[in-house]
Chain A
Amino acid sequence: MNGGRAIILGRIREALRNNPAPRPHTSHSQSEAAADHNGHAQREWLPKVGETLPERIDLFAKISEGLTTEFQRVPTMSAARHLITKLATESQWKKIGSHSHQDVDALLEEIELPIVRTEKGYAINDLESCDAGITGCDVLVAQTGGIMVSVESAGGRALSVLPPHHVVIARTSQMVPDLTAAFEHVKQKYGKQFPSFLSFITGPSRTGDIERILVLGAHGPKRLTVILLD
């Protein structure tokens, strides 16, 4: 059963038949060609990103600061482990959520807290009562200070949004310049077998619904930590 499919399609075709709309008023002569694009044309207009990796990491760090994302660069995995242990102690974590992922597993090697692992399914209330969710990611996006996660890289849909503190581990090789590159990356990585969930996370959860005043942690995490491993 698909409702009024035939009728709606008929109405659409009727509306468009021999009834061309005026083209948009555009000032750039190249924009007609740009409409038949692969996402590269927009790079001319979108916010600028540096050419080199250090420039991109600097941009990511700068935007993270504005977003109140806690961005931490570490030289080695053992430094990353030290950092996560410190976070766990300071924030008095009692239980955390994580998933099967090479870097996440390595990061949590020395953590002795109860861990709810999501990869084979979990009880919602069990994950909800975790103090933090530790995940990997697909890429980091320099242009926006964003983190792209998916079912595969972040242990499903909820692990990166349900616990009140989200910690992401990434490597510098995962830094891409912009959103276009992020989409190219997922197309290459997954082919046609996309995971059912892909998300750009740009800072901790927020709202401005009361008098347009910024409050962090509306429904998702109040804190977002990105650990970048050199």
Chain B
Amino acid sequence: MASQSSDFQTLSRRYTADKGFRAFIQKGMSGYYKKRDQNKANFQDWQGARDLAAEIKYEAINHLDKYLLEFEEKITARGAKVFWAQNAEAAREYILKVAKENNVHSIIKSKTMTSEEIHLNDALEKQGFGVVESDLGEYIVQLRKEAPFHLVFPAMHLTRRQISDLFQKELGSEPTDEPEKLTMIARDIMRRKYCEADMGISGTNFAIAETGMISITENEGNARLTTSLPKIHVALLGIEKVLPKLEDLSLFLPMLATAGAGQTMTCYNTMYAGPRQLGEPDGPEQMHIVLLDNRRTELLADAEQRDSLGCIRCGACLNICPIFKNVGGYSYGTTYGGPIGSVITPHLRGLKDWKHLSAASSLCGACTEACPVKIDLHHHLLQNRRNGAKTAPNPLEKISFGGFSLMMGHPSLYRLASGLGRIFQPLQGLVNGTILDPLRSWTDSRKLPTLAPQSFHEQWKKQRNRKL
């Protein structure tokens, strides 16, 4: 198997070399930075709000069993069914079963990263169920048979020209370079789908224990239509998304909007407490909550990194990350990209295959600063490096660091090594940066500092002898 690590290297090299692409991503982000900062400034105290959000998440995650049970009891009493899925397979099978039992013909989805995580669309399509993504960005990447590029902005890597070509090819629409016209093409198609679909699948941003509700944040209205018109609503919910109280949303909704999209509030923030109730005119007859573990409990067991379960998937850490902005979303090869993805993927999918992601960081800490719930992201990246070195050491690294610490612990060895270094450096200069250079991975793009003819230690000794 070509390793995940070498895939990352190949892709990140390719994207980083593409200056036009990097400039395009930067341009896309620039409007967000401005609006995000304006909205942060509207808060009386953004840092205070972050503290409180972190405290509420701490309370919820550290009493997860209590709040999940409260949530389950309350929403079940309202007529929803709660299915506890240990892994992706269990979640997929349950949803397939619901679709088959209800003789479902057409499925519409609103944006849910959790469904990407469990590869739901593939499973539904293999069983003959047509699935359409209704979020505009998700629909575009679905037509391209791609995964989302970014947690919040799935199609931010594509130009309007590419999207127009795609629509022309896949939908037979007229070419246009106006984002508005492109949006209206998707709107018209989706309108028909909403009216026909008999199952709507959504994600969940927050679950409220106190009142037994799920809360969905969006801008387009597609999630509202997905959860209003079809007769069955299936909501995917990671176990970590529960909040204790309804009023907690008065903090989290504006913070998610500000950190995620630079908005005061997103356009629609909707709370659903069960399927259609007696006497209500519309809404689904059935509501199924698929509560997904899928190794989140492994992350929970790691007390040091447990706070990363507080993630509200706003994408702020991706937007600020110097690595993400250069290598882009696809290099990671994960459902969740950027700093948060590099922290949690080793827990969700195995440290051995995914520890390299933690090395793809300059440890600048911008992600930690940007995180609205104060996840200690860059320290977690360091901890993953440490854990990776412990459980799956790289033999070459082990030898070189062993040698290095031996040298640093023994002055005589240090003097010998620097003496040898001074002798061999001119020889290295002859092959600098070429394939023959043993230090090529460093000298490829950087200069090797020249060793001083005399070390400080030697100069010190000489000076002192002279004085004496």
A residues in contact (CB < 8 Å) with B: 1-5, 7-9, 11-16, 19-28, 31-32, 34-35, 37-39, 41-42, 44-48, 63, 99, 118-122, 124-125, 128, 144-146, 151, 155-158, 161-162, 178-180, 182-184, 187, 194-213, 215, 217-221
B304 contacts the other chain (CB 8 A): yes
Query: Interface segment, B156-164, B439-447, B451-459?
Result: B156-164
Size range of the chain B interface in the assembly: 35 or more
Contact in complex: B264, A47 (CB < 8 Å): yes
Chain A residues positioned under 8 Å from B58 (CB to CB): 21, 23-24, 35
Query: Contact between B269 and A202 (Cβ–Cβ < 8 Å)?
Result: yes
Q: Would you mind naming 25 contact pairs between A and B with Cβ atoms under 8 Å apart?
A: A4-B90, A16-B63, A16-B300, A21-B58, A21-B307, A25-B376, A38-B247, A42-B52, A128-B195, A145-B264, A151-B277, A155-B281, A156-B282, A194-B273, A200-B268, A201-B267, A204-B267, A205-B268, A206-B219, A209-B140, A210-B158, A210-B163, A212-B29, A212-B153, A217-B184
Nearest-Cβ distance from residue B26 to partner chain A, whole angstroms: 11
Q: Is the CB of A220 within 8 A of B224?
A: yes
B62: A residues at CB distance < 8 A: 16, 20-21
**Whole-angstrom CA separation of A221 from B59 in the bound complex:** 38
Instruction: Provide the residues of chain B in CB contact with A2, threshold 8 Å.
Output: 82-84
- By the criterion CB–CB under 8 Å, are B280 and A156 in contact? yes
CB pair A31–B179 under 8 Å, yes or no, is no
Closest 10 CB pairs of A and B: A220-B221, A39-B247, A179-B250, A218-B220, A209-B137, A4-B86, A15-B301, A24-B54, A35-B55, A157-B228
Contact among B69, B136, B271, B293 with A11 in the assembled complex (CB-CB below 8 Å): B293
Cβ–Cβ contact A220 & B301, under 8 A: no
Seen from chain B, the residues whose Cβ lies within 8 Å of a Cβ on chain A are 28-29, 31-32, 42-49, 51-52, 54-59, 61-65, 68-69, 78, 82-86, 90, 94, 134-137, 140, 153-156, 158-160, 163, 179-180, 182-184, 187, 190-191, 194-195, 211, 213, 219-222, 224-225, 227-229, 239, 245-251, 253-254, 261, 263-277, 280-283, 291, 293, 297-298, 300-301, 303-304, 306-307, 374, 376
Contact indicator B222/A219 (Cβ below 8 Å): yes
